Each structure stands twice: as C-alpha cells, then as structure tokens.
Structure 1
Amino acid sequence: MPDPTHDLLKRIAAALERLAPPAPAAPDFSRGRLFHYEPATGEFTAAPDYGLALDLLVGIDQQKQRFVQNLRRFAGALPANHALLWGSRGAGKSSLVKAAFMALSLHEAPGLRMVEIDRDAIDALPGLFARLRDRPERFVVLCDDLSFEEGASAAKSLKSALEGGVAGPPANVIFVATSNRRHLMPRGHDESKGLLATAEEAEETISASDRFGLWIGFPPMDQPSYLAAVHAYAERFDLQSAGIELKSLQWAQSRGGRSGRVAFQFIRDLAGEQGRALPV
C-alpha cells in the first residue's frame, strides 16, 4: 500500500526544487576579457574588447599615470587600492578605466579580466566578490556612474564587499567606480524621511566613499586640451577638414561644454560626413 508520507515528502521536495533556482554554472573567463555580470541569473556575458587606445586619451595625463600605476601594481599581485574616478561628465573616466585595462591585459597581464556591474545591482556586489575569490584570474570590477540614489542600502553593500567580512576582501579583485560626484551623494534627500534619516544616509554614503584608497578627480576640460583631443583623434583616424578647430569649438558650444566625449562625438560626426568608418 502506498505510503502517504512518502508521497507528501516527494511533493514537498519537488516544490522546493521549483522554488530554489539551480546553482549558476562555473563561469568561463576564457571567452573574453570583458564581461557583464547579471545578478538575477548569475551569468557573466562576454563583451567585445574596448577599442579606444590609451594614448588617445589626452588632457588627463596625471589621472592616467596614477590610475595605470595602481592597476599595474594590482595586475602584478602587489598591494593596490580600490579606485574612485570622479568629476565632470564626459571627462574620460570610464574610457580611462577600460583603455588602461585593455593595454595591460593585452601586453602585460593576460590573466586580467574586467567584470562590469550595473549601479542598480550594487547590492549583489558581496556575492559577486565571493564568486570571484577563488578564481585563478585577477579581476577589475567596474561600476560606471555610481551614486546612491536609493539611500543607505547600496552603500552598506559596497562597504561589506570592500571590507570582506571575517575572510577579508578577495586579493584577486579590485573595485573601480566612476561618478560625477566625489562622495557618491544623491542629488537630493527625501524630506519625508526627516532630518535624522537623511543625515544617517549621508553618513553611510560618505563612509562608503572612504573605502576607496585612490581618488582621482577629473576637472572640466579646458580649450587647449579639447583641441588637442580633436587633433589626436583626427590624426589617428586620418580625417582632414579645413577649419577643424573652429568647427570643433562650435560643436562644443552646441553641446554645452568641452570634454573628451564631446571631442570624440565631433570626430564621429566628421567621419560620417566624409563617409569614413571608425574602428571604435
């Protein structure tokens, strides 16, 4: 005669299997150099190599030197700091991170990998670090345009990941964030929470930014640096245009300011006008 208890246990086990997602497969980091992490599925999606060369980033020589020095130390298994690159929009923060990573991974550190995580997934950062901890590769984990708009929860997750709890932070992972704001503060506070709540969230956020040992600022780009960027791009991509400086300055004026991004957008427009393809 069938055992009703046995049948019940089988149904419970089947229900639990449906509720509990299967453990994610071990990632294959031989598929590329750059990856995007999706916390909902636990998957690492390979992305194409970043195509902009490091030497094309002009006007940020000091920032470039400091970041590359820190990254080279990390790639060589030497002590290095988590890095926060902050400052003006379009100043080249994320471009510097990716271009420096590509330069080192191609020519000096073939075991170096980059994993990008979205800023709204920062709560998953401790879990990501745990998955990378015992891997043989060394990882640059990048979060672009980071800020804590939703209060202190994400800041706490960031602090937890960078501190590493009892086990300490993984030695094979360095975290790099870019932001328009030095302390990662939200643009405004929810007044309905009260002064005490917003003050506590501000303290949590500033405390999180203090976990970055390397802060690199990017001031607004001046006109000589902007024109140098335009000429560097034009020379690299073999683009010629009469009055290129005046045209590029008019372009910047129409865009509301000068930056490396605006310079490249001008070059992209110029290449399209001349029927030329760009490699990036």
Structure 2
Amino acid sequence: MELTALSLRARALSVLRGLQKHPLVTRYMDTLDALERDAARFADCYGALCQTLLACEDPSRAMLDAVHFDVNSMTDTIAAPTPAVLYAASHDLEVLSALLALDGAVLKAAAVSRFSAPALRELPDFPAAAPLPFADGAALAAYYRADGYGFFAQATAFAMQDDGQLAPIPHPDPVRLCELPGYAHQKAQILQNTRAFLAGREANNILLYGDKGTGKSSTVKAVVNEYADEGLKIIQMAPRHIAFFPALFAQTLRSPFRFIVYLDDLSFDREDASFAALKAFIEGGLAGKPAHLIIYATSNRRHLIRESMADRQGDEVRVRDTLETVTSLSDRFGLEITFSVPDKDEYLYIVEQLAAESGLDLPREELHLLAERFALRRNGRSPRTARQFISQQLAEQFAASSG
C-alpha cells in the first residue's frame, strides 16, 4: 500500500478507532505523517517508532492484544453485526496489517527520496512484523465470539483497587481442585452452582464459612481455574470496597464474561455502612443484581457480624431485633457451605494424598506419626497444616540429600 494512502486510511479507522490511541499505532501514524513535513520531524518520529518496536517482544502480538481488548461497534453488535460494520472492520484490519508490514528500509527510502537527506539512511533498521490473523470482519467477529473481548479479556483474575479501579492480576494462584484433597461434598456443591451460573441458569451467592486453614479461599480460586476456559473471571474485593459495587456494574456491563465477585475473610461491625450496602446488593436493592455477577464470600463467622455479650442481653424484643440484624446478611446467601476442621482420619487422608502428589516417600505409619506431631505443634489439624507439614518434610529430605 502506498505510504500516503496508508497514512490517510489509518486516520479513517472506524470500528477499531480506539486503537489510534495505542502507542504502537500512534508511532506508526506519526512516522507516516512526518513524511509530509520535514527530515527532522521524520527522524524524531522514526526514532520513537523504533523505541516502541524494540520494547515490544512481538509487535504482532501487541497489535492483536489491542484488537482483543477493544470494545467497539462490532462487540456491541456481536450477535449479528451489520454488513456495514463487517465491511468497516475489514478495512481497519487491512490497514493495521499494512502498518505491521512496514519495515525500516521502506520508511527510510521514502524519507531520503522526499527530503533529499542521505543521512537518514544511517538510521536504525527494523524488520516487518507478521500481519494480524484475521482476513476480514467476519473472521474478527468469530474471534470475538470465541475468545471474548474488552478489558476483562486481559486476564482471569482481577483485584479492586482503593480508587475503585480494577487491575489484572498477572500471576494468579494456579491451584486446582485436584490439589485440594478432602471436602468432596463441599466442592461438589460449589461446582454444581458454578456450572449453573455459567449456563445462565439460576445460581446462588455462596458463603463459605468455617475454621481458618480449611481451604475456603483455595477452593474458590480452584473453581475459577477449572472454568477459566469457559469465560469465568474472578474479581477480588475487600469488604472496604463494597461501596464500589455500582462502578463494578458499569465496568462489567458490556463484557461477555461471567464474574465471581470474591469477598475474602468477610466480617462487619453492625454500624458498618458496607454491611447494609452488601445486603441491598444481594437482595432488596432497587437496581437488583446483574445476572453476570455472583458473590462467593469466605468468612470465619457464620453470621458475618461481630457479636458481643451485650447484644444478647436486654428485653426479649431487643434481643430478637439484634439477632435478626446479625443474621440478616448471611441469610441472603442462597448457599452456606461449612468447612470444618477435619477429624484425625480425614486429616491423615489429606496428608497421604498430598504426600503422594508431591512424591514424598515415607512409610505410612511414620508419615502419620510425624503429621500428628506437626499438627500438635501447629495448634490443630487443617488442610493448611497438612500442606505445611509436607513442605517441611520435602525441605528436610532435600537438605539431607544435598548435604
């Protein structure tokens, strides 16, 4: 494509117009525009383009990601984009691939010819990049339907920041359910509910409560990892972020994905404004809860609210009102799943499973004896204690073998 024509067509991006703000596209466009100005301007823009390309491990991948994470007139009509949208998207894809096809030699030759400045031949070179993997708008539409689009296509896990903005978690916990022995009934309930949610059927918000170290948080993360390929995302929010629920709705509204809003270690004082806000969100608010969001919360408290002896004293009416307030939030979770401290047999079963998975080779009786001693020193049995025990044994074996 002739460079002047390419420059004009790049300015006419429509469906993918948001990409004009992407640093890579901006650098290409600035360099083409500089060919219509002077040698100094070209050299400056060409150097900036080289800097951006050098910073990209793969320019084609960077451009594809920009297309993938965009929200545009095609994603807004993805069920049935009009012929006009498909045609415009085809134009935009052709332009973006033509930009990627440029190499340093082509641009420098054009500049030397335009400005009669032989010194421009000494500027750094860069190779052409591979084109985008889409031939036309129909192929792009198929890609969006298969892989999703927009901000949430960047990752599986996100965290709410204190300013109300969401940030992708680049390296989320990769734990899988097969790595969490025990609690089979609890996991089956959560999986059944999650599958219904992904299928667009009625599903419940879930409260996972119980003793510390029993695997509540790990189970939630593992469930998300099981269904990440089906478009399930997780958004971690602290209780102090509950006020950002309206902003969260707005951010997820145009997304094709489904989201578990993960509230870890949830507990409140009765005077906490977030307590009332969460109650309204789950059930009773005027706006209702979006169908693409569901809450999975973990807590060491079944009723989520700190109680004192004073709350249980006074006349019968006052005590009843107090207790109704205490239970009013937990009652709004459709599923309450208990993770209790395992008994001795279940604890040792978990230890055996983890030992087998990690390759720890100890006689069964010795394994049980050491695991029980470890639990006594760690103030009780739990899946977390079992994992810590296995880690310690592996470390001791490694030290003995390397010493």
Quickly name the TM-score band, shorter chain normalised. 0.7 to 0.9
Higher strand share: 1
1:254 aligns with 2:377: yes
Percent identity over paired residues: 36
CA deviation map 1:74-116 (0-9, x unaligned): 111111000001111111111111111111224xx1x110000
1:160 aligns with 2:280: yes
Deviation at 1:232, TM superposition (A): 1.1
Question: Are the equivalent residues in 2 in contact too, given 1:133–1:173 (CA < 8 A)?
Answer: no
CA distance, structure 1, for counterparts of residue 246 and residue 349 of structure 2: 41
Please say which of residues 128-137 and 167-176 is displaced more in the overlay: 128-137
Of the candidates 201, 222, 241, which is equivalent to residue 343 of structure 2? 222
Give the TM-score taking structure 1 as reference length.
0.79
Distance 1:41 1:124, change over 3 A: closer
Question: Are the equivalent residues in 2 in contact too, given 1:124–1:157 (CA < 8 A)?
Answer: no
The alignment of Structure 1 onto Structure 2 pairs a total of residues equal to: 247
The aligned counterpart of 2:196 is 73
Q: Report 1:58-207 matches (<5 A).
A: 58-106=181-229, 109=230, 111-149=231-269, 151-163=271-283, 165-188=285-308, 203-207=324-328
Structure 1: where are the runs of 5+ without partners? Answer: 1-24
1:274 aligns with 2:397: yes
CA distance, structure 2, for counterparts of residue 197 and residue 118 of structure 1: 31
Give the TM-score taking structure 2 as reference length.
0.56
CA distance, structure 1, for counterparts of residue 321 and residue 228 of structure 2: 41
CA distance, structure 1, for counterparts of residue 167 and residue 239 of structure 2: 16
Partner of 2:328, secondary structure, is helix
1:238 aligns with 2:368: no
Question: Are the equivalent residues in 2 in contact too, given 1:189–1:198 (CA < 8 A)?
Answer: no
1:35 aligns with 2:186: no
Distance 1:121 1:266, change over 3 A: same
Distance 1:119 1:218, change over 3 A: same
Partner of 1:136, secondary structure, is coil
Q: CA RMSD in A?
A: 2.7
Question: Are the equivalent residues in 2 in contact too, given 1:255–1:262 (CA < 8 A)?
Answer: yes
Higher relative contact order (CA 8 A, sep 6+): 1
CA deviation map 1:42-82 (0-9, x unaligned): 13232423222202322201101111100111111111000
Please say which of residues 252-261 and 151-160 is displaced more in the overlay: 151-160
Distance 1:240 1:171, change over 3 A: same
Structure 2: where are the runs of 5+ without partners? Answer: 1-69, 72-149
Partner of 2:277, secondary structure, is helix
Write the letter of the residue equivalent to 1:233: L
Bigger radius of gyration among the two:
2
CA distance, structure 2, for counterparts of residue 94 and residue 185 of structure 1: 19
Question: Are the equivalent residues in 1 in contact too, given 2:152–2:255 (CA < 8 A)?
Answer: no
Question: Are the equivalent residues in 1 in contact too, given 2:175–2:225 (CA < 8 A)?
Answer: no
CA distance, structure 1, for counterparts of residue 361 and residue 318 of structure 2: 57
Partner of 1:177, secondary structure, is strand
Distance 1:134 1:85, change over 3 A: same
Structure 1 runs (4+) greater than 4 angstroms displaced: 194-202
Please say which of residues 226-235 and 159-168 is displaced more in the overlay: 159-168
Higher helix share: 2
1:44 aligns with 2:164: no
The aligned counterpart of 1:10 is none
Deviation at 1:122, TM superposition (A): 2.5
Distance 1:39 1:134, change over 3 A: farther
